[in-house]
Amino acid sequence: MTVPEIELAAGYLVKRVQISFRRRSDAALQAIGVSMAQYAVLRALADHPDASAAELARLCFVTRQSLGDVLTVLRSAGLVETADVPPRGRAQALQLTATGRAAVTSADQAVKAVDAAMTEGLSRAERLQLTAMLTRCAENLESS
């Protein structure tokens, strides 16, 4: 059977990998009690504790409204709370709770295992090359 040309296009393959990675990550994260979208927010907040809501949304590739929905769930679950610092303008700073930090640690392990499964059979040099090529692709599209 011949593979249609579009299915060999880089953009199609990136989307195929993204969908599969998301599905496998969501399954791996289920035991921790978070989704991939929730993990992305937790990870971004852990890495950028001073980020505004707009910055967190950008880091997680979601709208501010979607971020707000995810944050509502994370607050209800006791993973995120308002930081005890003076607000910057109208924005309240957020922070991970102790439970949130533990969830990030567990979730990191789960997502790293999915990443390792995705790149199984690739040498270290090939993984570095893949990372460099994907970074270049993203930068090409973001600069236009």
Domains in the chain and their CATH numbers? 5-142 (1.10.10.10)
For residues 133 and 122, the answer to whether their CB atoms sit within 8 Å is no
Q: pTM of the prediction?
A: 0.87
Below-70 pLDDT ranges, the chain: 86-91, 144
Alpha-carbon radius of gyration of the chain: 18
Q: Which helix (H) or strand (E) holds 106?
A: helix 98-118
Give CA separation, 84 vs 4, 26, 46, 53, 58, in Å. Answer: 56, 32, 16, 16, 24
Per-residue model confidence (pLDDT) at position 36: 95
What tokens were used for 85? 């610092």
Per-residue model confidence (pLDDT) at position 126: 98
Per-residue model confidence (pLDDT) at position 1: 81
Give the residue carrying structure tokens 């809501």: 53
